[in-house]
Amino acid sequence: MKTPLHARLFDAVRLVVVVMILLLLAWHIVTNATIQWNFLNMSLLLVVLAAVNLVACYVLKEKSWMHYAIFLFVAMLFGSFGDFLLAGVLYITPNALINGILGFSIGQVFYLIALRDVSPLLFRAAGSTQGSRGFRRLLTGNLAIWLGVLAAGVMLFFATVFNPADPILSIGALAYGVLLLTVLAFAVTKWFEGYPVSFRLSLALGFLLFFLSDWAIAVRAFQNQFFLSNLFVGVTYIIAQLLIQVTPILIGRTRT
């Protein structure tokens, strides 16, 4: 069946936005991440991409993934807000790292809600009987992945990030890390769902790169290890968010 004109229009707009992000990313690499506003412009364009996906699902009446697109848009909105906070352009507290953690934490909560919209996280409805409300079945595979990722991530934190000279801020960073690891773990569990491989791969790889970017920020902040450059942080972060934000395109026309 021929793709409707307005659907092709949205595809064209998405393509233009993605190309703009990739061109700015190339410039980010060429300039060795020395131009802050180049990075922030990419962050804003990611918000635009999320907004286009949301408007597209409304106009094209893709109701089955409307909530998913909404949650991803809000998550990216707070993610971009976190970028501006971490860059020191906007302020909540005098500490830019704390500000960034606050913005990113809210974004991760909405990413987790989006993953819950795709499929259950830890419990799946297992049917009901007359006169009862049914019961929920624990997804033991998902539980094992979640606990395994958390254990590995917490060990990595104490081995490479934790600074005993700043225990309060370190524990605050760990709390955010647990949230991010939770989102990463449940993104990995989607690999075992019946969605397109492109969707599952984009989602899992996106959140893995997101974790690597934030881990690099933490190592730099708490251990003063600058071998993980701004370029590494920026490139992994932008690619991560881009991979996550294109998932509505990869899943939207296949969901029922």
**pLDDT at residue 128, as a whole number:** 45
String of DSSP letters for 16-65: HHHHHHHHHHHHHHHTTT--HHHHHHHHHHHHHHHHHHHHHHHHTT-GGG
pLDDT score of 2 more than 80: no
Interatomic CA distance for residues 175 and 138, integer angstroms? 25
- Is 241 contained in some domain? yes
- Is 131 contained in some domain? no
**pLDDT at residue 109, as a whole number:** 97
- Is 208 contained in some domain? yes
- Is 129 contained in some domain? no
**pLDDT at residue 1, as a whole number:** 47
131 — pLDDT class (breaks 50, 70, 90): very low
**What domain range is 40 assigned to?**
5-122+138-252
pLDDT score of 130 more than 80: no
Q: When comparing pLDDT for 225 and 158, which is higher?
A: 158
- Is 133 contained in some domain? no
Which residues on neighbouring strands pair with residue 138, listed in sequence order? 123
Reported pTM: 0.91
Question: What value does the mean pLDDT take over residues 82-96?
Answer: 92
Interatomic CA distance for residues 140 and 102, integer angstroms? 31
For residue range 185-210, list pLDDT tens digits in order. 999 999 998 889 999 999 999 999 99
- Is 130 contained in some domain? no
**pLDDT at residue 253, as a whole number:** 53
**Domain count within the chain:** 1
Mean pLDDT across the chain: 90
Q: What angle do CA 38, 199, 195 make, to 5 degrees?
A: 165
11 — pLDDT class (breaks 50, 70, 90): confident
SS3 145: helix
Question: Where is average pLDDT lowest: 68-77, 116-125, 129-138?
Answer: 129-138
- Is 171 contained in some domain? yes
Please report where in the chains the tokens 């690619």 appear, as a residue.
Answer: 239
- Is 207 contained in some domain? yes
